[in-house]
Amino acid sequence: MLPFSIELKPGLPITEQVIFAVKRAVVAGRLKPGTPFPSVRTLSQELRINPNTAHKIVGTLVAEGVLLTTPAVGSVVAEPSGDDRQAKAALLGDELERVVVEAKQLGLGLEEVQAELAAHWKRLGRK
Partner 1 sequence: MTFPMNIIETDRLTRRFRATEAVHALTLAVPTGSVFALLGPNGAGKTTTLKMLANLLLPTAGSARVLGVDSRKLGERELAQLGYVSEDQRLPDWMTVTQLLGYCRPFYPTWDADLEAKLLVRFELPADRKLSQLSRGMRMKAALLSSLAYRPKLLVLDEPFSGLDPVVRDDLTAGLLEAAQLGETTVLVSSHDIEEVERLADHVALLDGGRLRFSETTEALLGRFRRIEVDYEGTVDSSSLPESWLGWSSGGGRAVFVETAFQSEHTERACRERFPLARVRAHPMTLREIFITLARAGRHSTEEIAR
Short-list 10, 33, 23, CA closest to 94:
23
Site membership for partner 1, residue 53 (CB under 8 A): yes
Helix (H, G, I), strand (E, B) or coil at 3: coil
Q: Which is nearer to partner 1, 48 or 123 (CB)?
A: 48
Give 52 or 114: the residue with its C-beta nearer to partner 1: 52
Task: Give yes or no for residue 50 binding partner 1 (CB under 8 A).
Answer: yes
What x-and-dash track marks residues 69-108 binding partner 1 by CB under 8 A?
------------------------------------x---
If one asks whether residue 2 binds partner 1 (CB under 8 A), the answer comes out as no
CA distance 86 to 27: 10
* CA dist., res. 36 & res. 58, Å (int): 12
